[in-house]
Amino acid sequence: IVPALLGCTRRHETRQEISKLCLTLMSDKVDAVRNTAAECLCLGGGSLARHGEDDGGEWTSRIVVPHLRSCSESKNSRQRMLTLKMVEIIITNGLCPATTRATPGSPVPLNNEGSSSPSSIAETLSRKVLAVASSLIDDKVANVRLNVGRVFGSIMYLLERSDVDYVVDKLEKQLDLESKREGGADRDVLFYAQQAILSAQTLLRREPSIS
């Protein structure tokens, strides 16, 4: 019913009120209910396109990202897992327009080493979303940590070059943190992080195919 209601109006204010039902269901005890509600929230701006409009990622930026961050900071590991599911939905469905807040014609800022690294580029919506996922690389729950690598691996081919570099940097950091973890590294966390990095390396060898 929520997707149908969201499809009835193009006003962000009204759609935001409707989306509150999704937020309630995202706390349900049943995995399938939580995942469906999260998907509905992430795709909530989609019907604008069916009305011949493109919201330029406004729905994702104004409505979804704040709740994405909230889930990532939850004490409940199921909510943190849901964060990664939402990131996968957002990237897979192309809900992050490739635009930045940089002023047209302005030079790309340099980092301390004098190069225009991905971290120095004006933050895109996709980078905001990826940053939320990467904040979980050292989560106290192994299942959350391993799903960071799994999700990054599944969306790698959809990312622009600068975002691929960003993700690889975070995954390498995860491998380092995991190897130093008290009690020993979790082999599944290492596996998914390494697989995602291998996926990135394969893509980078096909450089022309990455934006």
Domain extents in the chain = 1-97, 137-211
Q: Residue 7 above 90 pLDDT?
A: no
The Cα 75–Cα 79 span in angstroms is 8
User: In sequence order, what are the residues at sequence separation of 6 or more whose Cβ sits closer than 8 angstroms to the Cβ of residue 62?
Assistant: 12, 16
Q: Residue 168 above 80 pLDDT?
A: yes
Q: What is the pLDDT of residue 18?
A: 74
Q: Which residue has the higher pLDDT, 104 or 142?
A: 142
Q: What is the pLDDT of residue 103?
A: 36
The Cα 18–Cα 3 span in angstroms is 9
Q: Which residue has 């998907």 as its token pair?
A: 39
Cα distances (angstroms) measured from residue 167 to each of 2, 122, 203: 33, 16, 13
Give the mean pLDDT of 175-193. Answer: 96
Q: What is the pLDDT of residue 48?
A: 47
The Cα 121–Cα 38 span in angstroms is 29
pLDDT band at 123 (very low <50, low <70, confident <90, very high): confident
Q: What is the pLDDT of residue 40?
A: 86
* 9, 17 Cβ separation under 8 angstroms: no
Give the mean pLDDT of 46-66. Answer: 68
Instruction: Give the number of residues written for the chain.
Output: 211
Q: Is 72 left (phi over 0), alpha (psi -120 to 50) or beta?
A: alpha
Q: What is the pLDDT of residue 208?
A: 59
Q: What is the pLDDT of residue 10?
A: 64
For the stretch 73-87, pLDDT in tens is 999 999 999 999 999
Give the mean pLDDT of 152-180. Answer: 97
Lowest mean pLDDT: which of 42-46, 166-170, 197-201? 42-46
- The whole model's pTM is what? 0.80
Give the mean pLDDT of 19-41. Answer: 89
Q: What is the pLDDT of residue 166?
A: 97
Give the mean pLDDT of 112-130. Answer: 64
Q: What is the pLDDT of residue 206?
A: 76
Percent of the chain with pLDDT over 70: 74
**Mean per-residue pLDDT over the chain, rounded:** 82
Q: Which residue has 């004098």 as its token pair?
A: 114
